[in-house]
Amino acid sequence: MNKEEISLYNHSKIGNNNVTSPILSKNLVSKVNSLTFNNNANPLSNPQSKTFATDKGITLDYKAVIDELAKLNSINNINEFYSKVYGIILQNIDSGFFAVGLYKEKSNCINLRLQDKLGNFYSTKVFLKDTDNPIVESFNTRNIIFEDDVSFLKLSYLKNNNIAILPLISVNKCIGVMIFADKYVRQNIALYTMISNYVALVSHNMELIETSDKYVNTDSLTLLYNHRCFQELLADEISRSATSKQNLSVIMLDICNITKINRDMGHAKGDEVIKLVAENIRKNVREGDIAARYGGDELAIILPNTSVEQAKYVAEYLTYALSCFFIDDVGPVKVSVGISSYPECADDKEKLLILAEQAMYISKAKGYKDGMSAIISSADFNFWDDIALKSYAEVLGKRHAQLGVNFEDELLAKFNVDHETMPSNRIFEIASSLAGAIDAKDPYTKDHSTCVSKYSAALARAINLPEEEIERIRLGALLHDVGKIGIPETVLKKEGPLSDEEWVIMKQHPTIGAEKVLMPNASLRDLIPIVKYHHERIDGKGYPEGLSNGDIPLAAKIVAIADTYHALTSDRPYRKGMNIEKAVSILEEGAGSQWDADLVRTFISIAPSLGL
């Protein structure tokens, strides 16, 4: 075969537009289907005009080979794909061996993988600087090279054979070479050219998919795993730990002052800090640990087969390493660190993460000692500690998805302990933390419970109720929405009007608060009328029981007015908060039908002193 014929074969393409493979991306399938044979130049263009030489005495139709190749469309492992291709060749042609070499730009070499008919494999590197090597020649010139001496492969057990080295061309790019050993390689070169073009496209596509998957799972700024991949890997590691009965720990790190750095120095400086922290974590974590960017300025590390104490040691090392770095105009890098461990702290993925975040917020609240951050484990703190509860509320406020993991039940189980021996001020502190956690589920009702409690106490005082009753109303108002702990966040956070079905769900919160939260707690049962009936109306059109004026407790009437006033004067996703005059006018319109008229008049008189 002369050079002109070789060139024609080298540029022939797959031409059966009905043959596609799910392995290939849509773009590459389109590319394949756009490539057609030159009917005049390519012997494969007419299957009736071409047979292939074979020792097996079989007249071979190239379409049979294409059909076999098409059956490989479910394979997504590149080495398995190559083996199957060679298997098809062996079924039809007595080939001595088959090799695929893909170019690696970073090392400027071709990684060659050879398989013989006995199933033996051999791998080597062919560097492009070895210009005398026929593999390099074929790659550089993009031409088919025929040889009958295989000594350049440096495999003594290989017998000399007629071989063809074909460049792998995909989308006008040479990505490597293929080698076929066959006594009749020159006669069968059209078949091998077709196979090499097909393999080139599949190989190129798999490489693109691999690269794409890498970027899909990688955070572009830090080059660590991203949040989605982190969640998947943590689930896998927890499952593995459960099977092997081993510990697993999670370290959560928050980079301090990023918001201030972004505001004062620009986001480029903030990104510089985040990248520095990520780079040092990547360099200093142990082999087998998994680091990821969990949020904007938060990084997380999965530590398989690691106890809480071992995780603390790793965290101390990391924080020390980070403290040694100074950034211009910023100073030393500081992080807050929280740790939780499976199964000691939690046996559920979401709960494990919430506890790690809570510990991280506690670390942030405790600050630094001797230049080092406080490393907090979720096993270290009392759940009802003020800082712990505030941190828990912050975690809930930051999360926009449902809690899952029955955290509400755990919170209530802790709350519904008999507090009869506990001082009343301590009960109020715990109730404040619980109300704060509920309010934190909805960023648009932040501090709602605290404000309603303040307004209710002011109105109760204005009508000269006894101080003991004022305190009861203050506490009841603080917990008036505690039943929302059982309402789905899809309903709580819906920005538009609720549907009829959603209203049915929302109207359950007074009953949930009374029966699920307060009833089990003997010291708080006298608050049930306030919580259960604060949405009843004077005209009997309220809920949950449709009570009318005389049946609604006075304390519940007071809280109803305070609740409405704060809702009217607060910002909502769909509107800005009203001014005092507008809110007061709405209360006046509903006086006598929705709210107690006398209480409304009194509240209007004190409203200006309450502020917004």
DSSP string, 466-515: -HHHHHHHHHHHHTTTGGGGGS-HHHHT-SSPPPHHHHHHHTTHHHHIII
217-381 — its CATH code? 3.30.70.270
Structure tokens at 544: 């949950």
Neighbour-count burial of 194, counting CB atoms closer than 10 A to its CB (0-12 exposed, 13-18 middle, 19+ buried): buried
Contact 86/207 with Cβ under 8 angstroms? no
CA distances from 118 to 81, 86, 158, 188 (A): 17, 11, 12, 22
State residue 610's pLDDT score. 83
Contact 172/35 with Cβ under 8 angstroms? no
Structure tokens at 146: 């025929």
* Residues in the chain where the model's pLDDT stays below 70: 1-61, 210-215, 368-371, 382-427, 429-430, 433-434, 436-446, 489, 495, 572-575, 611-612
Q: What is the Cα–Cα distance from 594 to 542, expressed in whole angstroms?
A: 8
Q: Which segments within 41-132 are labelled E, that is strand?
A: 97-104, 109-116, 121-127
Contact 428/478 with Cβ under 8 angstroms? yes
Distance in Å from the first CA to the final CA of the chain: 92
**Extents of the domains making up the chain:** 3-216, 217-381, 405-612
Contact 375/316 with Cβ under 8 angstroms? yes
Kindly give the pairing relationship between strand 335-342 and strand 375-377. Answer: parallel
State residue 398's pLDDT score. 57
State residue 48's pLDDT score. 41
CA distances from 190 to 5, 13, 185 (A): 10, 10, 9
State residue 525's pLDDT score. 87
Q: Report the half-sphere exposure of 3 (CA within 13 A, side-chain side).
A: 3
pTM reported for the whole predicted model: 0.46
Alpha helices in 542-579 (DSSP H): 554-569
Q: Is 217 helix (H, G, I), strand (E, B) or coil?
A: coil
Structure tokens at 304: 């398989």
Q: Is 523 helix (H, G, I), strand (E, B) or coil?
A: helix
Residue burial 423-460, b: 16+ Cβ < 10 Å; e: rest = eeeebeebbbbbbbbbbbbbeebbebbbbbbbbbbbbb
Contact 516/487 with Cβ under 8 angstroms? no
Q: What is the Cα–Cα distance from 44 to 62, expressed in whole angstroms?
A: 7
Structure tokens at 580: 């005092």
**What are the residues whose beta carbons fall under 8 Å from the beta carbon of 126, sequence distance 6 or more?**
101, 109, 110, 112, 133, 135, 136
Q: What is the Cα–Cα distance from 347 to 80, expressed in whole angstroms?
A: 38
Q: DSSP assignment, residue 106?
A: T
State residue 116's pLDDT score. 86
Q: Is 290 helix (H, G, I), strand (E, B) or coil?
A: strand
Q: What is the Cα–Cα distance from 258 to 238, expressed in whole angstroms?
A: 31
Q: What is the Cα–Cα distance from 108 to 181, expressed in whole angstroms?
A: 26
CA dihedral (578, 581, 587, 588) in degrees, to 10, reads -150
Structure tokens at 479: 């917990």
Q: Which residues pair with 306 in a beta bridge?
A: none
Structure tokens at 144: 């088919």
State residue 392's pLDDT score. 67
Q: Which CATH number fits domain 3-216: 3.30.70.980, 3.20.20.70, 2.60.120.890, 3.30.450.40?
A: 3.30.450.40
Residue range 405-612 in CATH 1.10.150.20 = no
Contact 372/412 with Cβ under 8 angstroms? no
Q: What is the Cα–Cα distance from 320 to 185, expressed in whole angstroms?
A: 64
